[in-house]
Amino acid sequence: MNNDHISGRNATELVQNIEKAIREGSLHAEEPMPTVRQLAKQLGLSPGTVASAFKTLRQRGQIRTNGRNGTFISTSSVPPSRNPPRLRPGLIDLASGSPDPTLLPDLTPILHRFEGPSRLYPDEPVLDSLAAIARVRLNSDEIPVGSLTIVAGALDGVERALQAHLRPGDRVGVEDPGYPPLFTLLAALGLQAVGLHTDQFGILPEDLSKKLSGSLQAIIVTPRAQNPMGCAFSANRASALRDLLQLHPRVLLVEDDHASEIAGAALRTLCAAGNEHWVHIRSVSKSLGPDLRLAVLTGDEVSVSRIEHRRSLGAGWVPFLIQTIVAQLWEDPATDEVLTHAREVYALRRDALKKALSKFGLTSYGLSGLNIWVPVTDEHAALASLDEAGFAASAGQRYRIAAEPAIRINIARLDTKLVDKVAGAVITSASGLGQSYQP
């Protein structure tokens, strides 16, 4: 590699210049870095100074070290844009992860009659009415509700749980394939993501057993509506995973129920495994609306206490306006009717696409949630075929650590009349035909 654009008179400047080179594209993901001694000699610095800079960059997720193979620019070094990709005009969007807006509760009546009192700084950070109904809903799913707090969404809860217990360099077990923003978050925290092989029923027990023996400090699981694979724990799988975790009670367990009440599968929690530290996070963004940036977090007393203390030094609390809206939605029987309808529609769309893919001889995964995972030989060919047929889907590469190639198809707004056309486009790429299949 050409190291001419790397400079710095001390560790701080070296870190700043390497980060700038990554942002501007002079350094690319998976590009090898020079060794500490090589860079020290080039810049006239001590090896200790360069090693210190590399340590900082690793902690920030900018670089990764692969043993004797060297140091590389991390694939997570540039955070992904929060804005959805700009699609070619005319494409039907099966790539984004948003719920169908027509299946969300209407907030207008609540906003019109809203009479929430103004809250002041000394007030408790969790609204009493929201905490009460959250406990009822969690208990109904057999979550061992402990201390409880409110966070700004599922990923916010995951980050706060990790920061409460881990330090840079710790190893965290994650589903593979898994959620790209989670991979990026771990890299930014200086944590090492360890992929756990996953099938339609969740993490494979034999792989978890092996990785736990190799020393994991934490494990993050999605019990249902897993993104991107749509897997959901079966009763047997959840039982086997709980048995394994009982043998490692000091491993931090983080359970992310991001789709919660529209997942379309029963919740089988691992939080009864007896881990010393654990949290369960239930988000409302998929079920009640992405603009309601709220998730209920319950866990052991130490974990929740640390999370609340750290949050008090920054954001302080999730706005009581949002907490009040969520509480009133959960208290309204009409909301349960909306959620039931949404579950049924999403299940219909999932099943229709899986049936169409199966008709063409294609294997797919998606027991719950908003996504279907379709193994393919060539991801780019499959996406190109879908694009030609008028659809946009997601390449599986960004979701995979060691998993096989696949594409992710979001079914949230998929018209069931189009499922044969979608399946036909995928089979076109698999069969190498020159034009899109016409059902």
Q: Are residues 405 and 266 in the same domain?
A: no
Residues comprising the chain, all counted: 439
Domain that includes residue 22, residue range: 11-73
On whether residue 375 sits in a domain, the answer given is yes
Please give the pLDDT value at position 1.
52
- Chain mean position to CA 69: 29
Q: Are residues 234 and 355 in the same domain?
A: no
Report residue 408's pLDDT band, with 50, 70 and 90 as the boundaries: very high
> Among 17-26, 92-101, 222-231, which stretch is predicted with the lowest mean pLDDT?
17-26
Please give the pLDDT value at position 116.
63
Q: Are residues 58 and 125 in the same domain?
A: no
Please give the pLDDT value at position 340.
97
- pLDDT per residue as tens digits for the range 244-256: 999 999 999 999 9
Q: What is the DSSP annotation of 7-63?
A: --SSHHHHHHHHHHHHHHTSS-TTPBPPPHHHHHHHHT--HHHHHHHHHHHHHTTSE
* Domain-terminating residue out of 333, 363, 388: 333
* Residue that has been written with the tokens 């940036």 in this structure: 293
Q: Name the CA dihedral angle for 195, 198, 202, 203, rounded to a multiple of 10 degrees.
A: -50
On whether residue 436 sits in a domain, the answer given is no
CB 85 within 8 Å of CB 393? no
Instruction: Label residues 38-65 b or e (16+ Cβ within 10 Å = b).
Output: ebbeebebeeebbebbbbbbbbbbbbbe
Nearest in space to 45 (alpha carbons), one of 77, 2, 15, 24? 15
Residue 121 has pLDDT above 80, yes or no: no
Residue 183 has pLDDT above 80, yes or no: yes
Average pLDDT over residues 270-282: 94
On whether residue 343 sits in a domain, the answer given is yes
**Number of C-alpha atoms within 13 angstroms, CB side, residue 66?**
10
- pLDDT per residue as tens digits for the range 23-63: 887 888 778 888 999 999 999 999 999 999 998 888 777 88
Q: Are residues 244 and 325 in the same domain?
A: yes
On whether residue 110 sits in a domain, the answer given is no
Report residue 438's pLDDT band, with 50, 70 and 90 as the boundaries: very low
Average pLDDT over residues 295-305: 97
Total domains in the fold of the chain: 3
Q: Are residues 310 and 212 in the same domain?
A: yes
On whether residue 81 sits in a domain, the answer given is no
On whether residue 107 sits in a domain, the answer given is no
- Which uninterrupted H or E stretch holds 352? helix 333-359
Report residue 79's pLDDT band, with 50, 70 and 90 as the boundaries: low
Euclidean distance between CA atoms 415 and 255, whole angstroms = 32
> Among 96-100, 116-120, 406-410, which stretch is predicted with the lowest mean pLDDT?
116-120
| Helices of type H across 119-260 | 128-140, 154-165, 180-188, 205-213, 235-246
Specify the pTM.
0.84
> Among 15-24, 260-269, 323-332, which stretch is predicted with the lowest mean pLDDT?
15-24
Euclidean distance between CA atoms 290 and 283, whole angstroms = 10
Give every CB contact of residue 195 below 8 A, 6+ residues apart in sequence.
174, 175, 176, 178, 401, 402, 403
On whether residue 149 sits in a domain, the answer given is yes
Average pLDDT over residues 129-134: 96
CATH assignment at residue 293: 3.40.640.10
Chain-wide mean pLDDT for the chain? 90
CATH assignment at residue 419: 3.90.1150.10
Q: Are residues 149 and 207 in the same domain?
A: yes
